[in-house]
Structure 1
Amino acid sequence: MDLLSFEQLRLVIVVYLSALMPLILIPILHRQKLIPSWVLRFYGAMFVVCALGWELWFNYGLVAGDSVSVRRVDILNQMIPLHINGLLNSLADAGTICCGGLLLVWLLMGRGDSVYREWNWRVFSLLMVIFIGQNIFVEMFLYHDQLADGKHLSWAPLSPLGIWFDPVLFQFNDRSIRLSSQLPWLILTQLLYLGLIRLLPQSKLSQSVTNQ
């Protein structure tokens, strides 16, 4: 087997750590009551939404797209097999990004109990910046080879324009950021925030953290 380059090794480490650390930590923190009780359910729900919303579609190239095994080099296909790649990405999206993003915004907003129970444009804007910002960063510095020109992402429920309308939004260092890969997070941010406002239990958001 060929040796991984530093950049490829970094990608493999980031993918596994960002997926598996929340999978281990969130249930432990839930069991010890160090996080609000709704977080574990939210984590599970976001995993399903991310997996069915776009990750599995992008992974397998289900509708007019290329599978990830076509879009990346063989050594990465060996280190992160096709059939677990989409699941790992979904776990990372749900845990590191969604749960981590909610925690960061909650801290930035002063740990208020109403942060996710009533609409606040500042909260929404912060979530959007965090989610879109991390996605652009990942695409620019981790997944740029998989998203290079000529490699197409599948249509997906949260990327409904598919390859049929997929303009380049901007370029940096010969790396392109396209609309199709940003749409899932643009849509998810709104669904996530509205869903929390509608469904979040009336128990205090910060109860199990601030009472420690």
Structure 2
Amino acid sequence: MRGQAHTLEAIVASLVLLTGLIFALQMTAVTPLSASTSSQHIENQQRAISDGLLATAAERNALKPALLYWDNSSAQYHNASETGLGVYASTPPDNTFGAMLERVFDERGVAYNVYIRFRGDRSQSPIIYLYNGRPSDNAVSASYTLTLTDDDHLYDTDGTQNETTLSEASEFPVPDRGDTVYNTVRVEVVSWRI
């Protein structure tokens, strides 16, 4: 009789423990966006891809022409979808840098924004070069710094340099510092999984 009571007590205790474990597992939700080592790995991979994209664009002389892809007559970037600072919305510019962005991000289902920050900018709002929406919590950022000079030429829609130098440009969104170095800019790519 005493052995049966101990057996019954052990069964009831294991059922209570099992019920508590099942309840605890149902209370924690694991989603694709939950933090884990695999999502950290994906973020690290996206950051490395963005760093590589910016370095390659600079090495192939595609980054500076993308910044100088300015329509002096309309005072915005060529073919920009919005006025003002020349936001491209979700369509990359029709230049080598834009093609690189499409190949690296669009074909992989990764959303991204491209911002331009410059020396002497005290505001928190950068120039929006390309905007695809508000980044998620797991967004990563990569940046590349380059120097614009007064004698850098603007680019036409076909990708060729025109006669207008940066010092002659009207309403270019990055201000002139006043010496032969026009300004130092940081191109920042923020990317996240959709």
TM-score by length of 1: 0.24
Q: Kindly indicate whether structure 1 or structure 2 has the higher relative contact order, using CA contacts under 8 Å at least 6 residues apart.
A: 1
Structure having the larger proportion of residues in helix: 1
TM-score by length of 2: 0.26
Structure having the larger proportion of residues in strand: 2
Larger CA Rg, structure 1 vs 2:
2
